[in-house]
Amino acid sequence: MPRFSANIDMLFTELPFLERFEAAAAHGFTEVEILNPHIHDREAMRAERDRHGLGITLINMPIPRMADGDRGAAVDPAATERFLEEAERTLDLARFLEAPRVHVLAGRAEPGDAAAEAAFVEHVQRAAAMAADAGVRLMLEPINTRDIPGYFLRTVDQALRILDRVGRDNVFLQFDAYHVQVMSGDIVHRFRAAFDRIGHVQIANPPDRHEPGRGEIDFAFFFEQVDALGYDGRVSLEYRPATTTSESLAWGAPWGLGAGAG
C-alpha cells in the first residue's frame, strides 16, 4: 500500500502555513513535504513536526527570485558560487528538520545546451559529496515545459542520462506522475523502466493538476503497479485541490486518508 505524504505548500492552503502540520496529521498523514521551507522559521517548523508526530519527506533547494523567472542555478556555468551556497544552506536545514531528501532544481536552459548540462552534472556531483556527509539523498525531477517554459530537465530519459553522468549513489530520480504524463505519457511503462533509479514519487492529475479522480490518470491502477514493483518510499500529494483540501482527499479513504483519519 502506498505511504502518502502531504505537500503542505499545495495542500491545506486554507490555513496559515504552520497550522498545516496539524491538519495533515488530522487527515491521516504521517509525513509532509515542503517546497519552500526557506521562507519559514526553522524552529517553528521543527516544533510543529514534533508536536504532531510527523516526518518531513523532502525539501527543495531555494528559488530566491521566482517572481523574476528564476527556477534554480544548477545549469548556469556562471552560478557555481550561488549554487554551492544554496546547497550548503539547504543541507543544513535538511539536517535540522531531519529531512532525508533534497530536490535540486535544475533551472532554465535548452536540453541540447552542452555547457548547461556540463554545469548541471558538475554542480550535482559537488552537492552530492556535501549531501553524503549530511546523510541526505539528492533528487532530480523532470518538470514539464507547459508549466515552466524553458525548464532544462524535462523528461525521464534525459534525467536518467544525466544520472549516469553524475555517477553518484546518493542521487536519484524524483518521478512526478503529473509532469511525466504531460511531457511523455505512458507513465507506468516509464516508471517500470526507471524503477531502480527512483528515490521519490509525487502525484497530481493532468490537465489541471488536481487530485486523483479529477483528470486523465487512473491512479488506482498506477498505485497497483507501484506496489507490484515493491516501491517502499513515499508518494507525495503535490496537487491543487479542485475544491477544498478535505474534499479533495475523498479518493484516499481506502488508504486511510481524509478528515478524521488522524
Active site residues: 141, 238
Bond preceding residue 207 cis, omega within 30 of 0: yes
**Beta-carbon count within 10 A of 10 CB:** 18
Cβ atoms of residues 142 and 154 within 8 Å: yes
Could you tell me which residues come within 8 angstroms of residue 260 by beta carbon, excluding any fewer than 6 positions away?
A: 26
The rounded Cα 138 to chain-centroid distance in angstroms is: 10
CB atoms inside a 10 Å sphere around CB 230: 7
10 Å Cβ neighbour count for 232?
A: 9
Kindly tell me the sign of the dihedral angle through the C-alpha atoms of 113, 119, 121, 123. negative
State the Cα–Cα distance between residues 40 and 15, nearest whole angstrom.
15
| Amino acid at site 124 | V
**Whats the size of the chain, residue-wise?**
262
